[in-house]
Amino acid sequence: MQFVHIFLNTWVTRLGILVFEYIVPYLRCLLAYMFKYKQYKLHMPQVVLVNPLIPPNTGNIARTCAARSTELHLVGPLGFELSNRYLKRAGLDYWPHVKLHYHESLDIFQDVYHKRGGRCLGFSVRGNYSYTKFAYKESDWLVFGSETDGLPKSFLEKCDYTLTIPMKDPQIRSLNLSVSVAVALFESCRQLGYL
């Protein structure tokens, strides 16, 4: 009987050593990888529209954000109601897939942005960096102004960087807002390996 007891203790000890030396570190690495991968894929640049005026533009942008699983922040005042039929029509049946946040003012948005962290990238026709030559990070906020006025100068001065989408013809100031957002978002996703 004592022999069986010693035999079992020896095997339990060996099994314990095996588990703690080989299996536990493997599981730790596996879990760390899974957590890191999950965190990496869920955290990507976010799109912010400040005072958008045209419902179909915002609807198209919402659809683009849904396709990329990108958060969309709308900063008021808006030039339309969120229940607007043109807004709904442009977003089609993708609205349930949009991670939508509404902020009543630029000040309220800035509080949220500062709490969550990341870099504020203001897009403007007078931006300092081309959107293709800029190195994006997962925590970036891609901020766009209204179709008519762009971003307020006071806000652009607070941005970490200002970016531009260069136009070949100097008589063409800018692209449509929904096209600009799509171009910038997909460039950031391309650089970060999300495509």
Binding residues for S-adenosyl-L-methionine: 145, 165, 174
Q: Is 59 exposed, middle or buried (0-12, 13-18, 19+ CB in 10 A)?
A: buried
Per the annotation, binding residues are 145, 165, 174
Burial degree of 5 (CB within 10 A; 0-12, 13-18, 19+): exposed
Tokens encoding 127 = 């931006």
**Distance in angstroms (rounded) separating the CA atoms of residues 162 and 178:** 18
Give the list of residues 6+ apart from residue 40 with CB closer than 8 angstroms, or none.
138
Cα–Cα distances (Å) from 124 to 21, 77, 131, in that order, read: 56, 19, 10
Give the angle subtended at the CA of 184 by the CAs of 153 and 95, to the nearest 5°: 100
